[in-house]
Structure 1
Amino acid sequence: MKNILLKAFIFIMLSAITIICNAQVAWIQRPDIGDLTRDGAVGFAIGEKGYVLGGRCHEPGQFLNDTWEYDPQTGAWTQKADFQSQSRSGAIGFAIDGKGYFGLGYYSSNDIYYYLDDIWEYDPLTNQWTQKGLFPGGSRYAALGLATETKGYIVAGSDGSQGVKTFWEYHPDSDTWLQMPDYPGSAFVRLSGFAIGGNLYLGCGGNDSLNEFWQYNTLSETWTERTPIPVARFSAVGFSIGNTGYIGTGDAGLISKSTSDYSYNDFWAYNPGQDSWTEMVVLNSGSGRSGAIGFSIGQKGYIGTGTDYYTTWGMVNYYKDFWELDFSVGITDGPLSINNSGQLTVYPNPASGGYFNADIVLNGSVGLLSLISPNGVIVLEKQVECSSVVTIPVSHLPSGHYILRLNENGRMKAAAKITLQ
């Protein structure tokens, strides 16, 4: 009887470790956003809360005007005051100085499409919506909204008949817009991007998928072309954590029409200082998606909702799920063994001499060792033998807490936290 109880206890503990470790190196699923699937919604963060608004629900087929607030401390969604205007999809949104801004987009009725030019302000303290002045750039949908600490921006989009590349800057204190230099990229619609400091970074987009990428300096009011994202896409998600930007998921468009890969689940991290892209862990929701929402709160990124094109052109799934990216919790110092199938020991830890050793034990023949930065970026990958000691040079990497992950046949077998000094 004691042996049975002991085996049961060990099984439960190993299962718990598997959940924690996978959460550490991938995405953690959080509660769904309400009861309705949707795509083309808007997401942004105000302070320590996240917000999701509107979009189109394809079951039963309606445009939405609901507002949802996410509290990462409790992991709970709370429905707030409905948006007090026309329900819509393909809108823009951003947050400035404790308030959210939402507008533009489209809706349809009796197979006729209508495009909007209104802008609204949401105050989370009063839970109220206030209409602001109309957008001077005219009605449009599929534009991109971004914001720095004090100003908002709307770039590109379509009025339903043609695309535009105009670029506008919003001053919330005076409720005024200034037209800035046009976006120089090729795409008109479905761009993705993020803001870091006083710079905006944006690109991708189009109807056939593009991978170009641009920087806008809000101080000098100039555009500079940057290194393209390695995989072209449109309707992707973008957000920033600290000084790193992230773009992921999205639609492959016509470039993959002959294959089954219409939507992506990959994520890429952009380093502005090096003007470089690094592939990171994929969204492990089981499929790709486009038209999702994304935002960041503190050191965590979030993505949810959207659609997934698969197998046959035009067939889609719709989502209401919500995922959190967090590489700062869950793994303790030292070795972790998962289901007794692999073991990983790192030393010295902390690594202070510009290197550390990884002692690896696998049941199979070959494994893949990955070093993941505090921002979730894979900074090193190395193929390893089943039982070996590998020396990893790290003198070129900044200090911080990293994750060392050991995979075999595409599945994680062990992981450990390593501190670089």
Structure 2
Amino acid sequence: MKGIFVLFLLISLSLNAQTWTSVSSVPTAGRDDGVCFALNGFGYIVTGYLGTFNESNKLFQYDPTTNSWNEKAAFPGTARQYSSSFTLNNKAYLIGGYSESGQALKDVWEYDGFTNAWTQLHDFPGLARWHATALHIQNNGYFGMGTTADSTLADFWKYNVDLDSWTQLSDYPGGPNRSVLGFPILNEGIFGEGFDINPISYSPSWFSFNPTTETWSTVPPIPAGLRSYGTAISSDFNALVCGGMDENNVFHNDCYLLDYTKNWKAASPLPISGLKGAKGFALKGQFYLGTGLNDNMTRISDFYKMDLPTTTLQGTLLFPNPSKDYFNLISEPNAKVSVFSVGGQLIQTLKTTDAGFLEIRQLPIGLYICLIEGKNTSEIKKIAKL
């Protein structure tokens, strides 16, 4: 058993209490299809198309304590839009995109927020592409799908940031698609939306990816219907999906929350009538979203924050149960977890630390007992290994 980790879960008090408020606009012309990421308590935006690419490489950092943007080290690569990015180990990674000269790209860049420096890494070994999907799950990055000049793609890859190396995995089960949304929730990746170009067809499917088994399973589709160019932001245990364009080229402003149980709930719509190609990030459990192309075909630099009231979880959650591979464990931080056989034999005792999971692949099939002991609480959970 590799380890048990804990999430200190925050859950919204009321969906009706969600509100969007304006924050400071990005200090450049409006842009669409850039990238956003969060590092060390700050949000960032870079790349994208601003009517030209003249200011595309300017990097801006958002400080939520002062509600202000500060210019940082410019991205040194070719100006572009439709790039993909993820964060891991306090660094951001930017991959590929569509260059100002109309070329598909495959270069990989690392940004260190502490040193404010960019480093070019080895190129992605697959086909150059844009409008692909990238995210981190646990200790690896993942990247795939997207489009070349002639076709959309379904390939899916794992990136080891420590070794700067790539491994190709099984294809995305939704088939060739670009504009696929991808984001982590707990210990899985969630993917959905997007469209194929040969011929143009919008995907209704959503999937989860298990990094332990490297397998896919279906997720209930979002109630919004068929979309592309939407925006997804996640914060460990929930995610917000907003806007985008439907198959009739109509822009939308509706928003939906996906929680850790993979259930969708309607959230407050964006304070703009329609938006596509927007980007965003999560800071301290709050969602920030902005820029993009509005339904008047105008690029905006506006940014908004969703005020999401939160409260602490009462009790411990351990799911999915039964399970074949692992359990998510959400409980009091620094709890003591003891795993017993049904006969009372102690298998292992661990202290919980950070967000993660209880891996059970090496346990024999059967029933087990978990004793979770916090500072002021003690709970017993029965778990079943399939």
With normalisation by structure 1, the TM-score equals: 0.66
Tell me, in whole angstroms, the C-alpha distance in 2 between the residues paired with 1:103 and 1:40.
13
The one of 183, 203, 216 equivalent to 2:172 is 183
Amino acid at match of 1:120: W
- Equivalent pair of 2:37/2:45 in contact (CA under 8 Å): yes
Mapping of residues 118-133 of structure 1, within 5 Å: 118-133=107-122
Q: Partner residue of 1:158?
A: 147
Structure 2: distance between partners of 1:263 and 1:211: 17
2:71 counterpart letter in structure 1? Q
- TM-aligned CA deviation for residue 288 of structure 1: 1.2
C-alpha separation in 2, matches of 1:151 and 1:83:
23
| Secondary structure of residue in 2 paired with 1:45 | strand
- The Cα of 1:211 is off from its aligned counterpart by 2.8
Alignment of 1:141-152 (within 5 A): 141-152=130-141
Q: Which of 277, 281, 291 matches 2:268? A: 281
- Aligned residue number for residue 329 of structure 2: none
Code of the residue aligned with 1:194 in structure 2: it is F
Which of 240, 250, 262 is equivalent to 1:246? 240
CA gap of 1:63–1:208, structure 2 versus 1, over 3 A, is farther
- C-alpha separation in 2, matches of 1:211 and 1:63: 35
2:278 and 2:75 mapped to 1: Cα distance?
Answer: 19
- 1:25: how far off? 3.2
- Corresponding residue of 2:84: 92
Please state if 1:45 is matched with 2:38. yes
Q: 1:195 to 1:281 in 2, by over 3 A?
A: same
Asked if residue 305 in structure 1 is aligned to residue 286 in structure 2, the reply is no
1:71 Cα offset (Å): 1.0
Task: From 255, 260, 266, give the equivalent of 2:254.
Answer: 266
Deviations 1:159-212 (A, max 9, x none): 211111110111111111111111010451001121012200011011543331
Q: 1:34 to 1:93 in 2, by over 3 A?
A: same
Say which of 218, 225, 229 aligns to 1:235. 229
* AA at the equivalent of 1:324: K
Which ranges in structure 2 are unaligned for 5 or more consecutive residues?
1-15, 311-386
Match 2:186 to one of 197, 205, 228: 197
Residues 187 and 204 of structure 1 are in contact (CA less than 8 Å); yes or no, is this contact kept in structure 2?
no
**What is the Cα deviation at residue 65 of structure 1?**
1.1
1:295 pairs with 2:281: yes
Cα distance between partner residues in 2 of 1:271 and 1:289: 23
C-alpha contact 2:156 2:169 (8 A) present in aligned 1: yes
Alpha-carbon separation, structure 1, partners of 2:100 and 2:69: 28
Q: Percent identity?
A: 30
The letter of the residue matching 1:30 is V
Answer yes or no: is the 8 Å Cα contact 1:88–1:105 preserved in 2.
Answer: yes
How far off its partner does 1:35 sit?
A: 2.0
1:324 to 296, 299, 305: 305
Structure 2: distance between partners of 1:54 and 1:236? 17
Q: 2:218 aligns with which of 221, 225, 249?
A: 225
Q: Counterparts of 1:347-358 in structure 2 under 5 Å?
A: none
Q: Distance in 2 between matches of 1:187 and 1:270?
A: 24
CA distance in 1, matches of 2:264, 2:18: 19
SS at match of 2:80: coil
The answer to whether the 8 Å contact 2:181/2:193 transfers is yes
* 2:325 paired residue number: none
State the partner residue of 2:93: 101
Distance 1:196 1:100 in 2: 18
**What amino acid maps onto 1:74 in structure 2?**
T
Aligned position for 1:167: 156
Look up the match of 2:69.
Answer: 77
Using CA pairs below 8 Å that are at least 6 residues apart, which structure has the higher relative contact order? Answer: 2
Q: Number of matched residues?
A: 290
Q: Which amino acid aligns with 2:68?
A: A
Structure 2 residue 210 is matched with structure 1 residue 212: no
Deviation at 1:233, TM superposition (A): 0.6
CA RMSD across the alignment: 1.8
Q: 1:53 to 1:281 in 2, by over 3 A?
A: same
| Alpha-carbon displacement from aligned partner over 1:96-139 (angstroms, at most 9, x marks no partner) | 01111112001233xxx211110000111111110000001121
In 2: Cα distance, 1:190 partner to 1:127 partner: 29
C-alpha distance in 2, partners of 1:69/1:149?
25
Q: Is the CA contact 1:187–1:205 (under 8 Å) kept in the aligned structure 2? A: no
CA distance in 2, matches of 1:66, 1:182: 34
Between Structure 1 and Structure 2, whose CA radius of gyration is higher? 1
Q: Deviations over 1:230-260 (max 9, x none)?
A: 122111111223422221111113xx35xxx
SS, match of residue 129 in structure 1: strand
- TM-score, reference length from structure 2: 0.72
**CA deviation map 1:29-49 (0-9, x unaligned):** 100111211001001111211
C-alpha separation in 1, matches of 2:136 and 2:211: 10
Question: Aligned ranges for residues 370-409 of structure 1 at < 5 Å?
Answer: none
Instruction: State the secondary structure of the residue aligned to 1:173.
Output: coil
CA–CA distance in 1 between the matches of 2:193 and 2:133? 11
Aligned to 1:115: 104
**Structure-1 separation of matches of 2:189 and 2:174:** 14
